[in-house]
Amino acid sequence: MSNLALKELLYKIADDQLILGHRNSEWTGFGPLLEEDIAFSSMAQDKVGHSQAMYTILHQLGEQVPDTLAFMRPANQFHNCILVELPNGEYDFSLIRHFLFDTSEAIRFEMLSQSSYQPLAELSRKIRGELRYHTLHANTWIKQLGSATEESISRLQKSLNEALPYALGIFEESPFEKKIIEAGIFEGEKELQKRWVKKVEEIIQQTNLSLPDLKITIPVFGGRTGKHSEHLQPLVDEMSEVFRIDPGAEW
Amino acid sequence: MNSLDPRVNRLPEIGNPQNIQDKEQLDQFGTFEVFVQPKEGKPFQHEGALHAPNLEMAYILAKETFTRRFTCTSLYVVDTRNVYVSPITERDQNAYDLVENVSDQSKEKRSFEIYHLLKRGKQHVHVGSVKASTPQEAMSVAKNQLNAGKVFNIWSVASNDIRFTSDEEKELWLTLPEKKFRDAADYKGGEKLSSFLERRIKESNV
Amino acid sequence: MYGGGNTFEGIKTDHLKQEDPILLAAFEARIERGEKIEPADWMPDLYRKQLIRMIEQHAHSEIIGALPEGTWITRAPGFKRKLALMAKVQDEVGHAQLLYSAAETLGKSREQMIDDLITGKSKYSNIFNYPTFTWADCCFISWLVDAGAIVNQLANAKGSYGPYCRALERICAEESFHLKYGHHCVIYLAAGTQKQRDMFQEAINRWWAPMMHFFGPADKISAHTEVLMKWKVKMSTNDDTRNQFLDMYVPKIWELGFTIPDSNLKKNTETNRWEYTEPDWEEFKKVINGDGPCNKERLEVRRIAEERGKWVREALLTKAMKYVMPLA
């Protein structure tokens, strides 16, 4: 089995987690409610922690150490979907992204619990509880704000409309899609997307929001092959600002 | 704003910084009391309070506000208005001595959770459940069933008012003990410090 | 994180005479016995007011204190530092939550306190009015400013008001990670490259004066606070806590081979007290009253955070809600 296919899968998952965790950490100290500020920060730490676990698996497969992978690659070598690199916007966009992404992440890891690749199956079992919290949190907030005031509903709807094409970019298929599925490592993006749509619809139906017609929504692809928006390079520059002062140094 | 902080520079310009006025009507959320079970088998204890718009939100927010560190196996929350408080005592008085005997045969009985505060400065701890029709009656029943003598203060809460953690949800705290990056123990600089000091001594001797 | 000092200016004890002497005597006897005062107890107006002010300022210091370190979260070098700093700054927001809650038991709502912070009515620890220029400045705060705060917090944890003590117990437990993390960061800078060492030395040079201000004005020019010490609201004098800090941490700084920009700094082995150049208390006054490098920015950030969150809070408010005081 081509290690390349497995590594590609690991990289894209890890990069999604790192970049989204990094984005969400920007809210620490700036949140709309004290208690929510704390909760959002916990979830950001979880994401960054997950990415570190994934990069550790990659390191065991022969890639560089996690710090190097996270802090020394240029933007065009990252495999995250474009959704996660977009700026935070206001809390409505961040919450919608949190809802759309974490719904897919929870399903992805549920599927990975059956993976033939042991380290992934183990990691999936381990972080189940954390992902459970992420989706519980997201669903509660979306249901709450998605049925509250005119302003909260219209803000969330606008963000949902804007985020959806990017969210579909999560499921951009890999050139190794068939290999991954045949080797039993992962059931594939198509299957993931199918389950994701069902879950998202289920929650949206409990609000005053409406899900745009996915059949006519054009996905924004490119992230998985290193073709990013103008937002990733500045993010990567900022993230590695101190590290790059002296990459050989111990901080 | 022109700041050294890149996050601050990304903040939107909003509102009027020159004209800061007091909020006319303060937007206030409800208050909820939070109870945490530190270890399997130990009783739940009162940890604190938070503000939230409703019970479910209170549960979700409590999880990170109060149980993101140390040990925890479960948690529950209740609206502060649903916590019935006994009168406070003086010196060696037992709070139960101030609790009236109440007995209501007419209404249906439901479950109430009882909490004791044994000493000023400590936390209320769960001691058991009783059946009663009202919070007052619950305290009266607890007087007979749970009175341990020298209780400083008692709380009673209708079980139905509580948002408990379900068995399924206990996995929320599964990885809590593994998050070492928040433990002081993960930051032992001793070795690094000693090898550094040795180096300095060598360098100054050269 | 809390510096103290500025809290207790101009206390008028005359209205104590208006308090019921029997209740006052019982209240003071309770404190002397070492018993905690709980929210439902009778307490003199002065006690209530001063405690609200002190706890509120402590809470504001935490939420503002999250900003100078928070700015380095997105730039922290490496996973270990990134995760730790995210957790540490999160804790500061968490401490603010715990402290506002404690102050609320005395009768002031959290919203009112936050409003007073943004309008400039309430103060916070002065040290956060300075900018963190480099990663090393962030490390200075994480280690030494936290260390200073812990000296204060450990003292206050033995105070008389139950809810504040409970909050401080929790805070002190979380701070142990902060302190170790801060020291760990600085050890690595000290043991690292010349660039790293220089970065931290420059940070010390910038932050030493604010650090000496941290514990508040010298006792000889401070307001009289005897009644607050009697009531175990103020647990230690400014000079005592400053001396304790110097005793614990100056040797640790020197051990790493760094210099401190005060040639008069030394321990007097006879008096067992540290001697130092008298800090510039005029500068301290100037900054705490609004004329520091970051005052405007700090409050502006809080104001913007509240504005941005307005629609969220409005969407969450319902008629069924009622604000009530926390119980404990």
- The predicted model gives A223-233 an average pLDDT of 98
Of B7, B50, B56, the CB nearest to A140: B56
Amino acid at C179: L
- The predicted model gives C128-149 an average pLDDT of 96
| pLDDT for the residue numbered C8 | 54
For A69, the closest chain C residue by CA position comes to C78
| pLDDT for the residue numbered C4 | 57
- Model confidence at B18: pLDDT above 60: yes
- Model confidence at C320: pLDDT above 80: no
Q: CB B63 to CB A127 under 8 A? A: no
Q: Which of A71, C145, A240 is nearest to B6 (CA)?
A: A240
- Model confidence at C1: pLDDT above 60: no
For B52, the closest chain C residue by CA position comes to C316
Q: CB C118 to CB B20 under 8 A? A: yes
- The predicted model gives C98-105 an average pLDDT of 96
ipTM of the complex: 0.96
Neighbouring subunits of B (3+ Cβ pairs under 8 A): A, C
Over chain C, what is the mean pLDDT? 92
Q: Which of A205, A96, A201, A186 is nearest to A141 (CA)?
A: A96
- Model confidence at B99: pLDDT above 90: no
Place of tokens 């506000």: B65
- The predicted model gives B52-68 an average pLDDT of 96
pLDDT digits (tens, 9 = 90+) for C7-24: 555 667 777 778 889 999
**Is A57:A10 a contact under the CB 8 Å cutoff?**
yes
Which of residues 85 through 144 in chain C touch B, CB cutoff 8 A?
A: 87, 90, 94, 97-98, 101, 104, 109-112, 115, 118-120, 131-133
Distances (CA, A) of B27 to A33, A146, B62, C9, C306: 11, 20, 20, 31, 11
Taking residue B111's Cβ as centre, other Cβ atoms within 10 Å add up to 14
**Is B142:B154 a contact under the CB 8 Å cutoff?**
yes
User: Is residue A39 very low, low, confident or very high in pLDDT (cuts 50, 70, 90)?
Assistant: very high
| pLDDT for the residue numbered C132 | 96
Q: Is residue C222 part of a domain?
A: yes
Q: Which tokens in the block code for residue C47? A: 């006690």
- Model confidence at B3: pLDDT above 90: no
Q: Is residue C112 part of a domain?
A: yes
Tell me the C-alpha distance between A23 and A94, whole Å.
Answer: 9
Q: CB B63 to CB A133 under 8 A? A: yes
Q: What percent of chain A has pLDDT over 70?
A: 99
Residues of A in contact with C189 (CB under 8 A): 251
| pLDDT for the residue numbered B150 | 85
Q: CB A44 to CB C86 under 8 A? A: yes
Tell me the C-alpha distance between A123 and A57, whole Å.
Answer: 10
| pLDDT for the residue numbered C223 | 77
Q: CB C166 to CB B121 under 8 A? A: yes
Q: Is residue C168 part of a domain?
A: yes
Instruction: Provide the β-strand partners of residue C267.
Output: C274
Q: CB C40 to CB B88 under 8 A? A: yes
Pick the CATH number of A3-245 from 3.40.50.1820, 3.20.20.70, 1.20.1260.10, 2.60.120.260: 1.20.1260.10
| pLDDT for the residue numbered C11 | 66
Mention every residue, 6+ apart, whose C-beta is less than 8 A from residue C240. Answer: none
Taking residue A250's Cβ as centre, other Cβ atoms within 10 Å add up to 15
The domain spans of chain A are: 3-245
Tell me the C-alpha distance between C200 and C124, whole Å.
Answer: 26
Tell me the C-alpha distance between C279 and C301, whole Å.
Answer: 29
Q: Is residue C18 part of a domain?
A: yes
Residue B105 distance to chain C (closest CA, Å): 31
Residues of B in contact with C188 (CB under 8 A): 189, 192
User: Considering just the CA atoms, what is the radius of gyration of chain C in Å?
Assistant: 20
Q: Is residue C34 part of a domain?
A: yes
- The predicted model gives A57-76 an average pLDDT of 97
Q: CB A41 to CB C305 under 8 A? A: no
Mention every residue, 6+ apart, whose C-beta is less than 8 A from residue C21. Answer: none
- The predicted model gives A108-124 an average pLDDT of 97
Residues of B in contact with C35 (CB under 8 A): 120-121
| pLDDT for the residue numbered B148 | 78
Over chain A, what is the mean pLDDT? 97
- The predicted model gives C178-187 an average pLDDT of 96
- The predicted model gives A161-184 an average pLDDT of 97
Q: Is residue C119 part of a domain?
A: yes
Tell me the C-alpha distance between C92 and C227, whole Å.
Answer: 30
Mention every residue, 6+ apart, whose C-beta is less than 8 A from residue B188. Answer: C180, C184
Q: CB B50 to CB A35 under 8 A? A: yes
Judged by phi (left if over 0) then psi (alpha if -120 to 50, else beta), residue C107 lies in left
**How many structural domains comprise chain C?**
1
Q: CB B171 to CB A132 under 8 A? A: yes
Tell me the C-alpha distance between B118 and B108, whole Å.
Answer: 31
| pLDDT for the residue numbered C19 | 85
Residue of B3, B5, B186 to mutate when probing chain C, most C C-beta within 10 A: B5
- Model confidence at C166: pLDDT above 60: yes
Comparing A110-124, C9-23, C303-317, the range with the smallest average pLDDT is C9-23
Comparing A138-142, B177-181, C49-53, C260-264, the range with the smallest average pLDDT is B177-181
Which of A135 and B94 is assigned the larger pLDDT? A135
Distance of CA B84 to the CA centre of its chain: 17
Of C80, C174, C176, the CB nearest to B181: C80
**Is B49:C326 a contact under the CB 8 Å cutoff?**
yes
Give the domain range for residue C157: 6-316
The DSSP 8-state label assigned to residue C117 in this structure reads H
- The predicted model gives A119-123 an average pLDDT of 97
A49 touches chain B (CB under 8 A): yes
| pLDDT for the residue numbered B137 | 92
Q: CB A26 to CB B174 under 8 A? A: no
- The predicted model gives A26-51 an average pLDDT of 96
Tell me the C-alpha distance between A65 and B39, whole Å.
Answer: 36
Residue of B59, B63, B181 to mutate when probing chain A, most A C-beta within 10 A: B63
| pLDDT for the residue numbered A189 | 98
Q: Is residue C178 part of a domain?
A: yes
The DSSP 8-state label assigned to residue C141 in this structure reads I
Q: CB B51 to CB A133 under 8 A? A: no
CATH code of the domain covering residue C247:
1.20.1260.10
- The predicted model gives C269-291 an average pLDDT of 94
| pLDDT for the residue numbered A232 | 98
**Is C93:A33 a contact under the CB 8 Å cutoff?**
no
- Model confidence at C6: pLDDT above 60: no
- Model confidence at C72: pLDDT above 60: yes
pLDDT digits (tens, 9 = 90+) for B115-145: 999 988 999 999 999 999 999 899 999 999 9
- Model confidence at A63: pLDDT above 80: yes
| pLDDT for the residue numbered B14 | 75
Q: Is residue C327 part of a domain?
A: no
Residue spans of alpha helices (H) in chain A: 3-25, 34-60, 66-72, 82-85, 91-112, 118-145, 150-168, 177-182, 189-204, 232-239
